[in-house]
Amino acid sequence: MQLNPASLARTRCFLHAVCLVLLNALRIQGAGPPANDQCAAAELIPANGPFPYLTSSTDMRQATTNGDPVLPANCAIGASHSIWYTFTPSTSALYTFSTGFDTGTTAMDPILAVYTSAGGCGGPFVNFACNDDAGGPDNRAGITTNFNAGTTYYIVVWVSVGEDFTDPNRIVALQLLVTRPEIPVNDSCAGAERISPSGPFPYSTAVTDTMRAATGSQVRPSASVRPVRCSMASSTTMAPATMGDGRWRVSGVSGVRRWLTAILRRPS
């Protein structure tokens, strides 16, 4: 039987609609749990970075909690959809693990925990550190602590039970940023970053990680902060005490998490 043009058009529309529904369902369901859904397939964070180091970005919609260790009750209550990482640093140092806005994380309230285990993935797992809300919008999680060289650490990141998985157009992603904070080059006056007197202005200084910046200085800030130093040779003679009120001034200091940069302007 030969279909007339109207019937063919209706059939094509019907098949097209069915295909769209199936494709959308596949996109929502995904291909199954992420590769690092369980400890045995945990994503490896390289021992030597290089740092800062970003892990892969993982869609959490099909992640499970199979084989997860116990989440400390004093850290968070109500976690679901987890992924695993392992990290065996080659250097004993201070490291930061973050799901902040400098990552591809879109989950609203992730939970981050670090464990050790004498029996590998077989456990028992001993909690080493845990964080639910490190501050800022969306309650991102972050941990900064000392890690020992040669020790294998198991990092588990959960999505909060309050996460909305019903929106088919939203990817609930998790990504870790791992950094090893260093003492800033301009931590003291001797290493002050030089700001050119000729600009061009506005002029932005280098972005500096202030996690390990010292507070010992002959210059005393008005609050407990970790200062970094910048120097500037002006063509106009000016006493240091007038810096900020005279011809030159710092018009903005921005700090996101622990990164610091200053913007200087010269009034016309």
Structure-block tokens of residue 106: 């879109």
User: Would you mind telling me the total number of residues written for the chain in this entry?
Assistant: 268
Cα–Cα dist 157/58, whole Å: 11
Please report the pLDDT score of residue 51 as a whole number: 94
Please report the pLDDT score of residue 155 as a whole number: 98
Please report the pLDDT score of residue 247 as a whole number: 41
Cα–Cα dist 106/158, whole Å: 13
Q: Where are the domains of the chain?
A: 32-179, 189-265
pLDDT in tens, 129-181: 999 987 666 678 999 999 999 999 999 999 988 888 888 888 899 999 999 98
Please report the pLDDT score of residue 201 as a whole number: 87
- For the entire predicted model, the pTM comes to 0.68
CATH of 32-179 given 3.90.550.10, 2.60.120.380, 3.40.50.880, 3.40.50.300: 2.60.120.380
Segments of the chain assigned E as strands: 43-45, 53-54, 58-59, 79-87, 93-98, 111-117, 125-131, 142-147, 153-160, 173-174, 177-179, 193-195, 203-204, 208-209, 230-232, 249-256, 259-265
Contact 112, 97 (CB under 8 A): yes
Q: Which of 78, 86, 34, 97 is nearest to 60 (CA)?
A: 34
> CA torsion angle for 225, 141, 109, 24 (degrees, to 10)?
130
Give me the tens of pLDDT residue by residue for the chain, a chain 268 residues long.
555 665 655 556 555 544 444 444 434 445 689 999 999 999 999 999 999 999 999 999 999 999 999 998 889 878 999 999 999 999 999 999 999 988 999 998 899 999 999 999 999 999 999 999 876 666 789 999 999 999 999 999 999 888 888 888 888 999 999 999 888 888 888 888 888 888 888 888 887 777 777 766 555 554 445 555 555 443 333 333 334 433 444 444 443 344 555 555 556 5
Contact 195, 264 (CB under 8 A): yes
Please report the pLDDT score of residue 209 as a whole number: 76
Cα–Cα dist 37/47, whole Å: 21
What φ, ψ does residue 109 adopt, rounded to 5°?
A: -150, 65
